[in-house]
Structure 1
Amino acid sequence: MARVLTFGEPMGLMVATEPKALKDVTTFHRYVCGAEVNFSVGMSRLGHDMSYISRVGNDPFGQHILDFLKEQHINTDYVTLDEVNRTGMQLKAKTLEGDPEVVNFRRFTAFSYMEPAIVDTVAWDKYDHLHVTGIPAALSDSCRETSIAMMKAAKAHGGQVSFDTNLRPALWPSEEAMRETINYLASLADIVLPGFGEGKILTGFDTPEAIADFYLKQGAKAVVIKLGTKGSFVKTEAEAFYAPAYVVEQVVDTVGAGDGFAVGTISGRLEGLSWADSVRRGAAIGALQVQVEGDNEGLPTPEQLATYQKSAKLSE
């Protein structure tokens, strides 16, 4: 299996136990969240050697996050403890339909003080792949510079880089700054994974084909556009096709579906699967994740994934 590295902010997650407005909820379930956490958990459960680069506060949430990552067999050698600044936190409502209400507490967190110097401590030659999202770059100037340095270092050492745009408009000072930075980061990646709505915002184009061409012209080798319940669109130098999603009868929580899709797609490619089989795996993992509470509780083992793909139905 591949040796994979990611960089991002893990947060404590408190999920409401009853479907009320967050201001009225009195009891919560505790989890760990963050797009890169979800990716790491998913890759580790599929058997890949996963390492995480981050910074958390030396507080109950930070200590719980470290314990959780270790329980998931994720290497935490590059996760540092901050004695001054706190770990980020998220509150999430329980919903009976649609996307849940989410409130983030991630300004001036320990992770926001990450510095590019961390790049020099990484044994890059040991890693095959780096996965980055657009979230860290939104958190602070130093996090943005660290994201850039990470991607450049991985490429310089012969590694492959994937980039999930993962837009968080509320974290950016302006849409223009978000668009400029995210598109620059995408230009440093081999594989770019935007959502369709994100791609329209970032490129100004309104078809999957045109969005894919935008990133291919920037230097990407492959673009995989997430289309939600309609599946995905893949374009490389050699092929272009639409792929279906899996039918899900009951959606419990949509958060984490895109990260699950990234897990399936990237793991598939690292294991030598075709693009078609890789995005089908991604669709399966995304479908599994939306059927449970929490951001990464539905991410499967290889056995669970195989069982699901044998029985689940693809959309037409």
Structure 2
Amino acid sequence: MANGIASIGECMLELSGQSAPIWRMGFGGDTFNTLWALRALSSGHHVDYVSAFGDDPFSKDQIEFFRQHEIGIANSPIIAGARPGLYAIKLNGAERSFTYWRGDAAARKLANDPAALAKSLENRSLIYFSGITLAILDPAARRTLLQKIADARAHGSHIAFDPNYRPVLWQDKAIARDAISEALKVTDIALPTFPDEESLFGDQSPEATVERLDKAGVAEIVVKNGDRAALTSHYENTVSVPAAHVASPIDTTGAGDGFNGGYLAARLLGIAPAEAAKRAHRVAAAVVQTRGALAPFEILRLAFNR
């Protein structure tokens, strides 16, 4: 019986500021941040991060960090001479901005070995990926990825997708729209963020996003909207779920990713979408009260089960 969880994408080195000029190094990236929350909240599921890795000391440290937290890498290739990407977080209050060094990161080759990728996605109850996963790949690799995801779906895997539109990663909006629209064709659970959908597709409201994705054939939709209510829709049953208020957030990095992890963990437990979104909001609130993208497991569990 399938019970594995796989998340596909790029995990980078993360530099987060404590007090200038001191930097703390960790790890992060949208699909890894979501898997981190899933790992904290989904006991009984084998968890893998599917990517491609280098053979440098930082890549080895990254894989060892995964191992220490019981996160595998499945059949992800380890590429001689390659290395991970890097990003640095700058904060203005709790709001963050990022600087990236990722142009030649190993993760851009995650779909270069189709057989290994297919093996990594076998026997999964849940597979998760994002628009950033798509954006870092060349067109041929993107097609390979979507085909292998479709194959896994045909064999019973549920597919969750966050469009997570980041303009700087795409050549133009038309290419991004086309790629994300193709991804939606293999998606069971869509987890978009309204400002992204407004920017890329011109949606006028979260309700318009739900309507568009429903027409695209997505059965389950959760539209995040920052610290505003999330809109859930499951087979056209639509519910608005208020966010959890945080009086003094510390760092908003990874909040939406944490929401996704909390929501998917709840759904794996059989919790209904509206209640799953309530728990996801609490997980996101816990994330914004810690520095960096990864809140400690115990903090995530306390928020989820409160």
Same fold (TM over 0.5): yes
TM-score, normalising length: structure 2: 0.92
Partner of 1:132: 129
Deviations 1:121-172 (A, max 9, x none): 2362x21111111112111214423431232122111111000111111011
Q: Is the 8 A contact 1:183 1:202 kept in 2?
A: no
Partner of 1:314: none
Go from structure 1 to structure 2 and tell me whether the alpha carbon gap of 1:28 and 1:146 turns closer, same or farther (over 3 Å shift). Answer: farther
Go from structure 1 to structure 2 and tell me whether the alpha carbon gap of 1:183 and 1:122 turns closer, same or farther (over 3 Å shift). Answer: same
Task: Kindly report the root-mean-square deviation, in angstroms, between the aligned alpha carbons of the 2 structures.
Answer: 1.9
Give the aligned residue type for 1:100. Answer: R
Deviations 1:193-243 (A, max 9, x none): 110111212332211111111111111001110011112001122410100
Deviation at 1:80, TM superposition (A): 2.6
Q: Is the 8 A contact 2:118 2:148 kept in 1?
A: no
Deviation at 1:77, TM superposition (A): 2.8
Partner of 1:110: 106
Partner of 2:120: 122
- Give unmatched runs, 5+ long, in structure 1: 19-24, 310-316
Give the aligned residue type for 1:132. Answer: F
Deviation at 1:65, TM superposition (A): 0.9
Deviation at 1:102, TM superposition (A): 0.9
Q: What is the aligned counterpart of 2:75 among 78, 99, 110? A: 78
Give the aligned residue type for 2:148. Answer: M
Distance in 2 of aligned mates of 1:120 and 1:258: 28
Distance in 2 of aligned mates of 1:116 and 1:223: 31
Go from structure 1 to structure 2 and tell me whether the alpha carbon gap of 1:136 and 1:238 turns closer, same or farther (over 3 Å shift). Answer: closer
Task: Give every structure 1 segment of 4 or more consecutive aligned residues whose post-TM-superposition deviation is greater than 4 Å.
Answer: 298-303
Deviation at 1:17, TM superposition (A): 2.3
Deviations 1:71-112 (A, max 9, x none): 11112232332112221111112x252422211111121111
Corresponding residue SS for 1:77: coil
Residue 212 of structure 2 is aligned to residue 214 of structure 1 = yes
Aligned residues: 300
With 244-253 and 107-116 compared, the bigger mean Cα shift is at 107-116
TM-score, normalising length: structure 1: 0.89
Deviation at 1:56, TM superposition (A): 1.5
Deviation at 1:297, TM superposition (A): 2.1
Q: What is the aligned counterpart of 1:45 among 22, 40, 44? A: 40
With 48-57 and 286-295 compared, the bigger mean Cα shift is at 48-57
Distance in 2 of aligned mates of 1:72 and 1:289: 18
Give the aligned residue type for 1:197. Answer: P
Q: What is the aligned counterpart of 2:160 among 159, 162, 181? A: 162
Go from structure 1 to structure 2 and tell me whether the alpha carbon gap of 1:215 and 1:60 turns closer, same or farther (over 3 Å shift). Answer: same
Q: Is the 8 A contact 1:98 1:254 kept in 2?
A: yes
Distance in 2 of aligned mates of 1:164 and 1:53: 16
Partner of 1:11: 12
Q: Is the 8 A contact 1:285 1:299 kept in 2?
A: no
Distance in 1 of aligned mates of 2:148 and 2:37: 21
Go from structure 1 to structure 2 and tell me whether the alpha carbon gap of 1:199 and 1:241 turns closer, same or farther (over 3 Å shift). Answer: same
Distance in 2 of aligned mates of 1:77 and 1:221: 28
Corresponding residue SS for 1:29: strand
Partner of 1:224: 222
- Give unmatched runs, 5+ long, in structure 2: none
